[in-house]
């Protein structure tokens, strides 16, 4: 088990990204960073201030940014390319497909502002299908860290792992769950809580809600297993199968469409020997403007929703 608990300490994942990039910049002179006029928001600008010769603000031209990153990677650079999730994937999907994934180049696409919790900017900026797009690409690996600490582990891990990655983070501050050294490994799930009645598999900052749901269920005498799945592709199939075997019920939680993200990966992983499963996520709809916490409630992505779903599934199983 990996130690994790919800603390009062809130940190923005983007700050984790920024500090990890700078550390990496000092350690490896082949690290280059590109952005598309969102460097203050994605917080890559801090890298750019220190390593100005290795930082390229490409302007509002994501397609060109992705191609430049690919070209740099062919010459031995480790290219981090950042923007909002909606632009970093949807705006330049073909560039990622043709110039990054197909030639399997060392480009790390690190996106921020994913999910409904973007808030006020509304549906145009709330990217809910980025993991589906990136999961579908051969050679691409997809990661959604749970907190700023985990981001700090993910960044060096993917830098030393050759080939393309997609990392997604949200905009909002999120509770710090992990202590330092979370033993992040590409493709490995983290067991956070043990239980026999049901398994909650979560990714990204939804893992905090999963941990809260664990507490709510415990109060009612229900033992939930909580598995944090930072790597959505390749998903940790062994952890999924074990959860299905041990608990017989699975809930997936992600701030993403129920189509093609974690829910898709988990159901595929256990498709040969399935158990009842519910996907908590955005139900095939666009978002809207609003305050982040209100939207998360409105779209059914809270600990209460997870706990309620768990109780319903357990009741149905007992029939």
Residues annotated as catalytic are 62
In whole angstroms, the minimum distance from the beta carbon of 205 to another protein comes to 32
Whether 150 and 182 have beta carbons less than 8 Å apart is answered as yes
Q: Is 203 exposed, middle or buried (0-12, 13-18, 19+ CB in 10 A)?
A: buried
**Rounded to the nearest whole angstrom, what is the least distance from the CB of residue 103 to another protein in the complex?**
4
Maximum distance among all Cα pairs of the chain, rounded to whole angstroms: 64
At its nearest, how many Å lie between another protein and the CB of residue 66? 7
Cβ proximity to another protein, 79 vs 149, nearer residue: 79
Nearest to 38 by CA among 93, 98, 96, 110: 110
Distance, CA of 145 to CA of 169 (rounded, Å): 7
Task: Report yes or no: 309 and 199 within 8 Å, Cβ to Cβ.
Answer: no
103 vs 120, beta carbon nearer another protein: 103
Whole-angstrom distance, CA of residue 234 vs CA of residue 188? 9
Nearer to another protein, 91 or 135 (CB): 91
Q: How many helices (H) and strands (E) does the chain have?
A: 13, 14
CB of 141 to another protein, least distance (A): 17
Which residue, 74 or 285, has its beta carbon nearer to another protein?
74
Shorter beta-carbon distance to another protein: residue 70 or 128 = 70
Rg (C-alpha) for the chain, rounded Å, is: 19
Q: Which positions lie near another protein, rule CB under 8 A?
A: 32, 53-54, 56, 58-59, 61, 63-77, 79, 94-95, 97-99, 102-104
CA distance 22 to 282: 34
Beta-carbon count within 10 A of 267 CB: 15
How many residues appear in the chain? Answer: 319
Min dist. Cβ of residue 234 to another protein (A): 20
């Amino acid at each position: 088990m990996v130690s994790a608990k919800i603390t009062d300490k809130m940190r923005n994942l983007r700050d984790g990204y920024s500090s990890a990039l700078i550390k990496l910049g000092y350690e490896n002179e082949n690290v280059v960073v590109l952005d598309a006029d969102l460097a203050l928001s994605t917080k890559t600008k801090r890298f750019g201030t220190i390593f100005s010769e290795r930082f390229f603000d490409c302007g509002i031209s994501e397609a060109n940014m992705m191609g430049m990153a690919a070209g740099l990677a062919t010459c031995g650079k480790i290219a981090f390319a950042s923007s909002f999730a909606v632009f970093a994937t949807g705006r330049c999907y073909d560039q990622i497909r043709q110039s990054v994934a197909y030639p399997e180049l060392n480009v790390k696409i690190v996106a921020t502002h994913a999910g409904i919790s973007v808030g006020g900017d509304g549906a145009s900026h709330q990217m809910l299908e980025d993991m589906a797009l990136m999961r579908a690409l051969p050679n691409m690996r997809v990661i959604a860290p749970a907190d700023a600490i985990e981001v700090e582990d993910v960044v060096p891990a993917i830098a030393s792992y050759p080939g393309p990655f997609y990392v997604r983070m949200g905009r909002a501050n999120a509770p710090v769950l992990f202590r330092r050294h979370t033993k992040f490994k590409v493709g490995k799930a983290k067991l956070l809580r043990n239980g026999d009645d049901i398994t909650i598999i979560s990714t990204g900052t939804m893992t905090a809600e999963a941990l809260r749901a664990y507490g709510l269920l415990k109060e009612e005498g229900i033992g939930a297993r909580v598995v944090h799945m930072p790597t959505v592709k390749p998903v940790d199939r062994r952890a999924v199968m074990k959860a299905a075997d041990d608990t017989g019920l699975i809930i997936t939680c992600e701030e993403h469409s129920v189509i093609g993200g974690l829910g898709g990966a988990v159901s595929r992983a256990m498709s040969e020997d399935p158990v009842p499963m519910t996907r908590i996520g955005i139900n095939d709809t666009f978002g809207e403007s609003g305050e982040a916490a209100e939207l998360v409630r409105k779209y059914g992505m809270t600990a209460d929703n997870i706990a309620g779903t768990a109780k319903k599934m357990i009741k149905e199983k007992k029939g």
